Each structure stands twice: as C-alpha cells, then as structure tokens.
A and B are shown apart, each in its own frame.
Chain A
Amino acid sequence: MNQRGAGLNRFPGDFAGTLRLRHAITKDIRRFFDDRGYLEVETPLRVPCPCMDIYVDAFPAGASYFLSASPEFHMKRLLRLGVERMYQVTRAFRAEEAGRHHSAEFTMLEWYRTGTDYLGIREETGDLVRFLAESLGRRCAALRFPFPAMTVSELYASRAGWDPCACWDETRYFRDWAERIEPALAGLGAFFLMDFPAPLAALARLHPDNPAVCQRFELFINGLEIGNAYSELLDYGEHVARFDRAAAERVRMGRQPYPPDRGFLDALELGLPACGGIAVGVDRLVMALLGLDDIGLVQAFPAERL
C-alpha cells in the first residue's frame, strides 16, 4: 500500500506550468471553432454501442452499457438537426491501452462539418494546429507549415517494401506497422498519412476512383498519431454490413462483440448530409505542441498516479 502510494503525488517537472499551457491550448481550441461558427455539443459517456472497431476494447459499464470509446455515432445523429458544424471536447475510454503514447482514459476533440470531405477536414486540421502553435509562440516545439501529405502506399513502399493497398495482408500490415513503420515515424516530422487500404475504412467512404483505398487520413506529428479523419460513409446498407463484419470478427477473436448503434442506423436510414469529420487526441496534441514524449507529462492523473 505504502509502496503504491509513494508515487501518487509525484508530478513531473513544473507540472503547474504544464497545466497552464494545456488550459491555454484547450481555450484556443474552443476559440478556433467558436470563431468559425461551430456549435459545441455534449454526448453521453455511457452508451449501448461504444464503437465499431475490431481492435478497441471498451469498458463495460453496467448491463448493456459501455464507456464510450468515441462520440462519433451520437454526434452524427445530431447532424440530422440541420447543424452544419459541430465540435466536442470530451473523454474517451479504451481498455488495455497503456504506454508512453496511450492512456485508457483520454481527452478527445471531435468535429464534423457538412458539405465537405476528408480533404476539407485536412485543411481545417492544418489551420487548427497552426493557430494553436502560433498562439503558443516560443513555447511551441518547432513545426513547419503546411504539413506535407503521403499515402499509406508510399509509406509502406519506402519503409516495408510492399503496397498493402494493392495486396492486402492484415497480419503483415500491423506487424510491419509495429516493427518498421512506427519506429520511423518520429523521423518524419509532421505529415498527413492519406488513403488507407479499404479493409481499414472503418466509417470512411471508399475512394470513388479507386475502391482499394478509402478516404481516410491520419495526422502524425513527430511519431505521435494525433488524429483520424474520414469522408464519412453515409450508406445505410454498407454500415449494417460493416457492423456485422466487425461483430463477427470480434467473436472470432474471442472478444465481446458490440451491438450495432440502433439510433445511428435509424439516422442513416432517414438520411444524413454529406460531411467530413475527425477525432483528435488532445493529450497527444498537447504533447506534440510542447515537444513532450510521454502522456504522463501532460495528463494530471495517468494510470500510475490514479
């Protein structure tokens, strides 16, 4: 007990200073979206369907509920109200994720905009990071704008010697990610990783000109995966099929399957407007802006201080 208690109140370095910078960054995030006419919304943390991801383990939260791994289904349902721009800064939960870049509970910034696709979201993401960096001034780690873009095909060709979009092999893809790609990311600075293989589309639309890839990008800054964006898939039948496939895959892996989000499927059936959206990990964004490489340096209470 004493041993466990020993480090609980040992905060790193000038932690009050870090908290002030973190506060300044979240204030600036809200200012950025408020100035652009975005509506800030709130959605529930305890939900019947935590996500559709095969590889995300949600925390059970009482019979038939989970802690939310992402607010996306509820936010998209709000698009039915005719709100064209909305954002949220909320908590997200993912079990069994712990490490220098991972925390089981973290802060997520998510936004949606109608009438655009992932390229519009990419531009806005670059604008946001630039706005935050300029506001921090000298305290911001060195970043050069605009961020370049690279496709998944290009990245794998140069670092792993094959193209997962041309010839999909999931086992090889993720092992190569861990052994060849991820170690190289820190040396690539800030860039948008574009056009993931179709089997990794999650909730993204497939590319109309090339169905082997989807309209999905991720932003990386100095080795940190900062955000994940889509041209949002709007097709009801395709969503049903993807929910079913994900659930079957989780059963096959011996993991608890998630039920489809009924309210979200209803909204799709009624029709949602074309839109793009992105989820950004705020803790990692703060790390990237301040040049820190451990989530425990920007979160007041990571697992080891709970």
Chain B
Amino acid sequence: MIDTSDIRKNLKLLIDGDPWIIVDFQFVKPGKGQAFTRTKIKNLITGNVIERTYKSGEKLEEARIDESEMAFLYSQGGAYTFMDNATYEQVELTEDQVGDAKNFLVENMNVEMLFFDGRPISIEVPNFVNLQIVDCEPATKGDTVSGATKPAKLSTGHTVNVPLFVNNEEWIVIDTRDGSYVERVKK
C-alpha cells in the first residue's frame, strides 16, 4: 500500500476495481488545519474524469498496469491496429481507447500500450512528436516576435496554431500533452 504522500502525476490507482490515473493534484492545508490532497483522476477504461479529495496519510492502492512497446500500423473504420515490437502480435484498439493520442499517431510510431488484467486499455504517445503540416497559409517573413499565429493542419488531421513564419509541408514538433506547437524540426 502507498499513501497520499506518494501522489504524483501519472500515478495509477486501483479504485473500486477500476484503474485510474492521476492527471492533476494539489496539496491543500490551511496553516492551522487538516491537510488534504485534492486530485483529478481519469478512469483508464472509460476516460471519465472526476475529482477526489484524500485526507493526508490516507492509504491508496496502486493499480498494476503492464506496459508494452508497440508500433502503430494503421487505422481503418475506427479501429487502430498496433504490433508488439517483441512478439509481433497485433492488437486492435477502438477510437475511444486511443483517445486524443489519435491526433499524433503516424505509421510506425512507437507507443506504450497499457494493459490492465491482461486487457489493452489505452496507449501513451511520447511527449514530443514530429509531424508534417499538410495545409497552411504560406509563411510571412520578418514577423517572429509578435506572437501572432495561424492554423495549420497536420498529416494526422489535427489542427494546431503555428507562428506565421512556418511553411506548408514543414515538419514541426508537437507537445502531445496539450497538442501545442513547440518548434520547427531542426534539419
């Protein structure tokens, strides 16, 4: 067993038989009062996000989640097919299970697939991925400081705001945690 002092982002908990992941937390303690940790947790099976408050020192149970490195092969009709890099076994996930990660998946990308009780439940993509722009207005020279942006459609279908100096068909780095533009891929 672990307790509230072990709480951190991405910790996986077993609550009422379901696996949950901590997406955010805040230690709350009035100077002269009881301490609590307020958490925002996501159900790894349903994707449901709720808030839960734990009293300091309360015991928690860690969820046993197995991870395997998988390569993304292709998607078809809402099904996403991955291959285990060690066993070459193929696994199919639904669009719901893939979640927001679908915005960043390109063929042959390596992802971590999470298994609970032997069943695949979701995937985790790397924090930073390189993706190609397939549709945006041509770059305008000179304006690198104003912070103005324009929308750019990526090869995955996801649209991000990029600075004006970025060109169509360029490769850019995306932060998958919030889906935002980071920088141009350095050549």
Interface residues of A (CB under 8 A from B): 53, 55-56, 96-102, 173-175, 177-179, 182-183, 200, 202, 218, 225, 228, 279, 281
Question: In the complex, how many angstroms separate the beta carbon of A151 from the nearest chain B beta carbon?
Answer: 16
Output the least CB separation between A283 and chain B (Å). Answer: 13
Question: What number of B residues sit within 8 Å (CB to CB) of A?
Answer: 17
Residues from chain B with Cβ under 8 Å of A218 in the complex: 31
A-B contact pairs, 13 of them (CB 8 A): A53-B32, A97-B27, A97-B35, A99-B27, A102-B29, A174-B36, A175-B53, A177-B30, A178-B28, A178-B53, A182-B38, A218-B31, A225-B30
B54 CB, min distance to chain A CBs, angstroms: 9
Output the nearest chain B residue to A98 by Cβ-Cβ distance. B27
Task: Please tell me if the beta carbons of A101 and B32 are within 8 angstroms of each other in the complex.
Answer: no
A261 to chain B, nearest CB (A): 17
Please tell me which one of the listed residues B27, B33, B51 contacts residue A174 in the complex, with CB atoms under 8 A apart: B33
Q: Which of B5, B29, B36 contacts A175 (CB 8 A)?
A: B36
- Of A53, A99, A183, A218, chain B has the most CB atoms within 10 Å of the CB of A99
Contact flag A102-B32 (CB < 8 Å), given A175-B53, A178-B38: no
Do A200 and B33 touch (CB < 8 A)? yes
User: Is B56 positioned at the interface, with any CB of A under 8 Å from its CB?
Assistant: yes
* CB pair A228 B31 closer than 8 Å: yes
Contact partner of A228 among B32, B38, B56, CB < 8 A?
B32
Interface membership of B48, Cβ < 8 A: no
Asked if B56 and A96 sit within 8 Å, CB to CB, the answer is yes
Say whether B34 faces chain A, with CB atoms less than 8 Å apart: yes
Q: When A and B form their complex, what is the total count of cross-chain residue pairs whose Cβ atoms lie within 8 Å? A: 58
Does chain A have a CB within 8 A of B26? yes
In the complex, the chain A residue whose C-beta lies closest to that of B56 is A96
Given contacts A96-B5, A99-B29, 10 further A-B contacts (CB under 8 A): A55-B29, A55-B32, A102-B27, A102-B29, A179-B51, A179-B53, A183-B38, A202-B32, A225-B30, A281-B31
- In the complex the two chains form, what is the Cα distance from A98 to B55 in whole Å? 14
- CB interface residues, B 30-61, toward A, < 8 Å: 30-36, 38, 51, 53, 55-56
Taking a contact as CB atoms under 8 Å apart, the answer to whether A55 and B34 are in contact is yes
CA distance A218 to B32 in the complex (A): 10
- Lowest 7 CB-CB distances: which A-B pairs, in order? A99-B27, A178-B36, A174-B34, A178-B28, A182-B28, A179-B53, A178-B53
- B99 to nearest A CB, angstroms? 26
Report if A96-B33 is in contact (Cβ < 8 Å); known contacts: A101-B27, A179-B53.
no
Which residue of the partner chain B has the closest CB to A100? B26
Distance of A182 Cα from B34 Cα, bound (Å):
13
Contact assessment for A97 and B29 in the assembled complex, using a CB-CB cutoff below 8 Å: yes
List chain B residues, Cβ under 8 A from A200: 32-33
Within 8 A of A (CB), among B118-170: none
Q: Which residues of B contact A102 (CB under 8 A)?
A: 27, 29
Q: Which residues of B contact A182 (CB under 8 A)?
A: 28, 38
Chain B residues with CB under 8 A of A98: 27
Give Cα A214–Cα B80 distance, bound, in whole angstroms: 62
Collect the chain B residues with CB atoms within 8 Å of residue A225's CB. Answer: 30-31
> For B56, what are the chain A residues with a Cβ–Cβ distance below 8 Å?
96
Closest to A182 in B: B28
A177 touches B35 (CB 8 A): no
Q: Residues of B contacting A99 with CB < 8 Å?
A: 26-29
Which of A53, A55, A177, A281 sits near B28, CB closer than 8 Å? A177
Complex contacts, B31 vs chain A, CB 8 Å: 218, 225, 228, 279, 281
Chain A residue with the shortest CB-CB distance to B55: A175
Within 8 A of A (CB), among B1-34: 5, 26-34
Docked pose: A96 CA to B35 CA in angstroms: 9
Chain B residue contacts of A281, Cβ below 8 A: 31
B38 neighbours in A (Cβ, 8 Å): 178-179, 182-183
